[in-house]
Every structure is written in structure tokens, then in C-alpha cells.
Amino acid sequence: MKKKILMVYPEIPTTYWSFRHAMPFAGKKALMPPLGLITVAAMIPAHYEIRLVDMNISRLDERDVLWSDIVFISAMIVQKDSFARVVETCNRLGRPVAAGGPYPTTSHDEIRGVDHFILNEGEVTLPKFIADYQAGRPAGIYTDETKPDITKTPVPRFDLLEIDAYGSMALQSSRGCPYNCEFCDIIEMFGRTPRYKKPEQLTAEMEALKGAGYTGPLFIVDDNFIGNRKKVKEILARIIVWQEENGRPFSLYTEASINLAQDGVLMDMMVEAGFNMVFIGIETPDTETLEMTNKQHNVRTDIMESVGKIQRKGIEVLAGFILGFDNEPENIFDLQLEFIRKSGIPLAMIGLMMALPNTQLHRRLQREGRLRGGTHGNNTHEFELNFIPTMPVEKLVAGYKRVISEIYRPSRYFDRCFTLIKRLPKKKLAGRPVTRGDIKALFMSLAKQSFTRYGHRYLAFIIKTLLFNPWNMAAAFNLSIKGYHFFKITGDIIRANEFKEYIDRSCRLLETGIESLVRDGAAAGESSLAGTGSRIKENIAATYGRLDREVQALVAGKMDEFYARCDATKSGPSQGVIE
């Protein structure tokens, strides 16, 4: 009888990166599929029966767990809470768990309930586990730092996916990045020598994806797509031919370093291949900070000028920014705001610094005694740093909130969108045909966004684009829909943080009263304080009940902490203060 493997991909919390609020415009449930798991599935011998549950598009049913002989789970750090719940379910139902991916690889020492860790790159460690599992003697940990030859990596199992549920698909053409950024965990996992697939190998994967019935956006999920320019040009030449022969089914986007702007031929090839967006880690406009964090390639060029060059070729720049570097200048918040405004980068992903496990930054901060707790993986929503920054925490967090509030104010956002539109070429570029899904998203955008509080700014942007650069109307609607997501997320983040601060203020007020009561022995004041405690609890519960569901999800952990403090208070020196 065939052995049965259930593959589970934990839920990714709603973040800037998830685009969750933009997905319904196109009738989608999640942005991207679990490429790692479906690639692992392709490495497993055919005599195993495999099912996949992506918790970002469907719930994990206990019957699926009970169906399996073993559960495979992969996750990033940001998925750790959902990961833990899945493991607990499997433990309760008596099914062994095998875990791999970025989070287990960097943090397996802290994870409980997993029977088998299959770490590092699956091409190396998975076959060893499968051999031992089939022999009935699987070990607890499989780890190997060997960097595999990914030209031997099989085509992912797209047949396991609910293809129509995703707003984008994903493929990988290389692993590794030649640079040495102090805060980056990618180079620690995949090395600084980029390893590429063969051009025909990548287009075979594109062929398989098209054969599975998918057309639309396709993310090339490389650590740095242009890490080896010679090899990437060979890949692009092959993609250009394939796209032309197959009716251009995919629009492509990827991640690259800022020196892309220095190679005009490379940019032209990317545009011809169908690339219309690239993510670039800009991090900060402050040169001294870039040098200190080993981001030397961002220092060797005028970043603002480079962004403009890429945009004028017809490629939108989506960029990452970080606040919380050591020794940032006092005016760093103004510098970030000014750079983002002038650069015409609508999608500016800005977050607080995190010291990720197994990075140069983490090791340095550990030596300096500045680490404080684990890593939550969400550097845009959680305002609790896992290290002691050089800037006072209160000032850093206040500055961060100011920056995200400013850049995702609708007026500021649409101004940047139009700056981008003015830079994009005034001609039709190589791209996939318009689909029914695109048309549906367009009409839903008009119907939904025209009547929002920012509807006049939205319509003004659409009209200005139509008059100035009609070839980019599709881009204008796409940016507007993404703006809907960013406005919602930013508002949720600010409201969640305000609610958390309200809880903390209330608890401090009550705890101060308890300390005074204990110190002064004023028994007569106990009933009054108990009444105050009850009112605080009722007010917090009522306020929580009025929050949007998404905001409630963001503060759920704080509510759990609050009720735990209530319980601790009831059993403390003045019992019954909070009932």
C-alpha cells in the first residue's frame, strides 16, 4: 500500500507583503503558492501519495491529517505561530511531523513537537531522509551545508495546486547572492556564489506551468536575479523566444540589486522577456549606514538616478527600506520620506530592523549583549524589536509610524504613482494579453475605489494617466488596487498599535494603584480599586469588540497577555482587583 504524505503550508499573517486585501479584486485567495513544498514533492518517489494543504487558501481539516502517514511542513519565520498550531494538531492526532524550510533551518533548536528536521537545501537532505524513512529508521535531524547543483532540480508539482486561487505563480532560476549585507540570512542559507538553472530547464518549467492552465503574473523568486549577468542574459534570451512562441502567457517580476541600472542591454532584455517589475533592497538613503551594514553596491551608484533609469526602461521598482540601523542620523525619518517621494516608488516596503537568526548582524549583536528575545518575522506590524537599538526605542517606533502614515496617505501614494507613470515609456511594451480576470479587476476597482474617502484622488490619478500615458492604464489600475491594500494595512497597523498602547496604559494605571494599596495597607480602598479594575477590563473588552476583524487578529496576542495579567493580578497581593 502506498505511503501517504500530507504537505502543509502554514498561514502567512496579513502583512504589506501578502497583498491580501488586493486579491479579491481578481477573485483570488492568496498571492503566491508554496514553491518550496511543490518542488520537494517532485523529489519524492512516485510510490508515495501526496496531498497539499495551503492554509492561505483553505483550512487544515483533521481528516487530512488522519489520512496521512506523515506530515511535511515548511515555513518562514513569519509563519511560526501557524506552524506551531499545525504541529500541535499533528501531535494530538498521532501523526509524525517532518519539517524543513527557512524557519526550521535557522531555529530548529527552539521548535518543539517535530519528529524529523530536514534542513538546508532539500536536494541534499531529503533523499537521505526518504531512504531512512523507507528503511524504518528515520533520524531526528538531517542537515548538510552542501550547495546542490540545481540544474538537477525537478519541475515543481503544479498539479498539487489549486491554480486559480493564486494571484501569481512562482518559479526559481537561481539561488544565492554575491553580496554580503550584514542583516541578510539569504547568503547564509544559499551562499554567495549564485547557482543557476539551465535556460531550457527554466522554460520547461514555464511550459509545465502553462500546461497546468495558468497564465498571468509570474514571480522569479531568485535571491538576486542578476547575481551573474552572463548567465542571466542566456536565460533571458531563451525566455524571450519562448514567450514569443507561446503567445506571451506570463508577465514577469523578480528581485535584483540596484546595479541593474548600470546594464542597459540587460534591462532591455528583461523588458522584451516580459518583466515589468523588480524588487530592490534600497534600505536607506544614508551612505554611511549602507557602508556600515556592508551594502557596498548601493554606495557605488546614485540610487535615485538608478531607480529612474530602471523606471524609464518600463520596469516598476518596488523597494525595501529599513529603519533601525545602528547610528542612523537624527533626521533619518525625513530622509526616508524625501527619498521615497522623489523616487516615484509607489510600493515602498518599509519595516523595522530585525536581527534574523544565523546572520552576521545577529552574531554581532549577540557578542555585544544587545539581543533581546526571539524573532517574530513580521517587521512591519510588530513594533517590538528583538535587539537594543542605538536610537531610543520610543523615538524609533514613533518615527516608523510617522513614515508609514505619510507614505501611505492616499494623496502621497497617488502622487508617487503618477511620478512613475510619467517615467514609464509612452509606448506598448512586450506583455501578456489582457485577460477576463484583468477586466474584472478593473471594473471592481472602479466600483469600489471611486466611492471611498480617497475616491477623488483615485479618479484624478486614473484620468491623468489616461490623458498623459494611455499605454499604462493597466499599470495605473494595478497600482490603485495595490494602494487599496496598503491603505487598509497601514490603518490597521496604526489602530492595532494604539489599542496595544491603551492596554499598557490601563494596566500600568491599575498596577500603580495595587502597589500603592499594598504599600500603604489601605484596605478601605480595595473595593474602589476592584471596581476600577472591573471597568478597565470591561472597557478593553468593549473596545476590542468594536475593532475590525483584521485589527482584532493583530492584537490577539496582546489580548491574551492582558487576560494573563488579569489572572496574575487576581492571585496576587490584592486578590479580586480584576474580576
What is d(CA 345, CA 420) in angstroms, rounded to the nearest whole number? 7
Q: What is the pLDDT of residues 472-505, one digit of tens each?
A: 999 999 999 999 999 999 999 888 888 888 888 8
Q: Which of 371, 401, 431 is the last residue before a domain boundary? A: 401
For 334-363, the DSSP string reads: HHHHHHHHHHT-S-EEEEE----TTSHHHH
pLDDT of residue 17: 85
pLDDT of residue 377: 64
Assign 579 a pLDDT band (cuts: 50, 70, 90): very low
pLDDT of residue 153: 98
CB-based contact 222:174 (threshold 8 Å): yes
Specify whether 124 is located in the same domain as 194: no
Q: Which of 401, 428, 448 is the last residue before a domain boundary? A: 401
Among the residues of 368-472, which ranges form H helices? Answer: 393-407, 410-423, 436-449, 455-468
25 belongs to a structural domain: yes
Query: What value, to the nearest 5°, has the Cα angle with vertex 557 and ends 378 and 500?
Result: 85
- pLDDT for residue 518 is more than 70: no
* All three cell numbers of 74: 515548511
Specify whether 179 is located in the same domain as 137: no
476 belongs to a structural domain: no
577 belongs to a structural domain: no
pLDDT of residue 81: 92
Residue of higher predicted confidence among 375 and 545 = 545
Among all chains, which residue has been given the C-alpha cell 491529517? 65
**Averaged pLDDT for residues 244-258:** 97
Among all chains, which residue has been given the C-alpha cell 472597557? 539
Residue of higher predicted confidence among 520 and 27 = 27
The residues, ordered by sequence, that sit 6+ positions from 495 with a Cβ below 8 Å of its Cβ are 547, 548, 551
Cα 273 to Cα 235, 269, 484, distances in angstroms: 10, 6, 29
Residue of higher predicted confidence among 440 and 430 = 440
| Chain length of the chain | 579
| Phi (first) and psi of residue 72, to 5 degrees | -100, 135
The whole domain housing 534 covers: 500-570
412 belongs to a structural domain: no
263 belongs to a structural domain: yes
Residue of higher predicted confidence among 366 and 579 = 366
- pLDDT for residue 63 is more than 90: yes
Among all chains, which residue has been given the C-alpha cell 517532518? 98
- pLDDT for residue 376 is more than 90: no
Specify whether 236 is located in the same domain as 292: yes
What is d(CA 268, CA 251) in angstroms, rounded to the nearest whole number? 15
Q: What is the pLDDT of residues 301-345, one digit of tens each?
A: 999 999 999 999 999 999 999 999 999 999 999 999 999 999 999
Among the residues of 274-392, which ranges form H helices? Answer: 287-292, 303-313, 332-343, 360-367
Mean pLDDT, the chain, integer: 91
446 belongs to a structural domain: no
- pLDDT for residue 272 is more than 80: yes
Q: What is the pLDDT of residues 152-186, one digit of tens each?
A: 999 999 999 999 999 999 999 999 999 999 999 99
- pLDDT for residue 375 is more than 90: no
Give 430: exposed, middle or buried? Use CB within 10 Å, 0-12, 13-18, 19+.
Answer: middle
Specify whether 193 is located in the same domain as 335: yes
- pLDDT for residue 521 is more than 60: no
pLDDT of residue 22: 94
Q: What is the pLDDT of residues 183-212, one digit of tens each?
A: 999 999 999 999 999 999 999 999 999 999
CB-based contact 95:67 (threshold 8 Å): no
Specify whether 188 is located in the same domain as 50: no
Tell me how many domains the chain contains.
Answer: 3
- Which of the residue ranges 142-146, 221-225, 275-279, 375-379 would you say has the lowest mean pLDDT? 375-379
pLDDT of residue 382: 67
**Averaged pLDDT for residues 368-382:** 77
Task: Provide, rounded to the nearest whole percent, the portion of the chain with pLDDT above 70.
Answer: 93
- pLDDT for residue 574 is more than 50: no
Cα 166 to Cα 58, 160, 219, 278, 498, distances in angstroms: 12, 13, 12, 19, 33
Cα 469 to Cα 342, 419, 462, distances in angstroms: 20, 12, 10
Specify whether 234 is located in the same domain as 366: yes
What is d(CA 453, CA 457) in angstroms, rounded to the nearest whole number? 9
148 belongs to a structural domain: no
* All three cell numbers of 542: 468593549
- pLDDT for residue 115 is more than 80: yes
Provide the 8-state DSSP code for 249.
Answer: -
Cα 424 to Cα 77, 160, 411, distances in angstroms: 36, 38, 20
Assign 527 a pLDDT band (cuts: 50, 70, 90): low
63 belongs to a structural domain: yes
**C-alpha atoms less than 13 angstroms from C-alpha of 205 in its C-beta half-sphere:** 26
Q: What is the pLDDT of residues 71-96, one digit of tens each?
A: 999 999 999 999 999 999 999 999 99
pLDDT of residue 178: 95
Task: Provide, rounded to the nearest whole percent, the portion of the chain with pLDDT above 90.
Answer: 78
Q: Which amino acid is at 536?
A: I
- Which of the residue ranges 165-179, 354-368, 502-516 would you say has the lowest mean pLDDT? 502-516
**Averaged pLDDT for residues 537-552:** 85
Specify whether 112 is located in the same domain as 178: no
Specify whether 123 is located in the same domain as 237: no
Q: Which of 401, 416, 434 is the last residue before a domain boundary? A: 401
- pTM greater than 0.85: yes
